[in-house]
Amino acid sequence: MRPRSSTLTDHELELMRIIWERGEATVRDVYEELLRRRKVAYTTVMTAMKTLERKGYLKASQQNRAFLYRPTQPRGKVTKALVRHFIDRVFEGSAQPLLVHLLKERHISESDLAYIDRLIKEQAPKGGRSS
């Protein structure tokens, strides 16, 4: 049997986005939000949220008769870890092939390129490069 992964599935990430946006949520809250997008079973949402708790992404506390779930980590930290995991798996730890792919396939808009250029310039040492 394959060991359980601690990374997020697409479905789990969708649930986490809802909970990050709300700050906290019950299973019913997440279920009703998902129903606006597509058909889903309440038990599916409940099981996924329990899995997210087991993986350490959510913490539950009892509120009246329902459990209230809160994220254990900020969205940016989880995103950073997911991107690092993807780069390690797909590009053997190097971000360069990913950036080249995005540029060649035109998945980066002109405004995004301008923003990236500004970031690069902010990170560059003042007075030019030294060898």
CB environment 114-129: b (16+ within 10 A), e (fewer): eeeeeeeeeeeeeeee
% of the chain with per-residue pLDDT over 70 = 92
CB 26 within 8 A of CB 45: no
pLDDT tens across 14-33, in order?
999 999 999 999 999 999 99
Res 128 pLDDT > 70: no
Res 65 pLDDT > 50: yes
Q: How far is the C-alpha of 109 from the C-alpha of 127, rounded, in Å?
A: 29
Q: How far is the C-alpha of 77 from the C-alpha of 114, rounded, in Å?
A: 25
| CATH number 3.40.50.10490 is the correct assignment for the domain at 10-71 | no
Residue intervals of the chain classified under CATH 1.10.10.10 are 10-71
pLDDT tens across 94-124, in order?
989 988 888 888 778 889 889 988 998 998 7
pTM over 0.85: no
CB 52 within 8 A of CB 58: yes
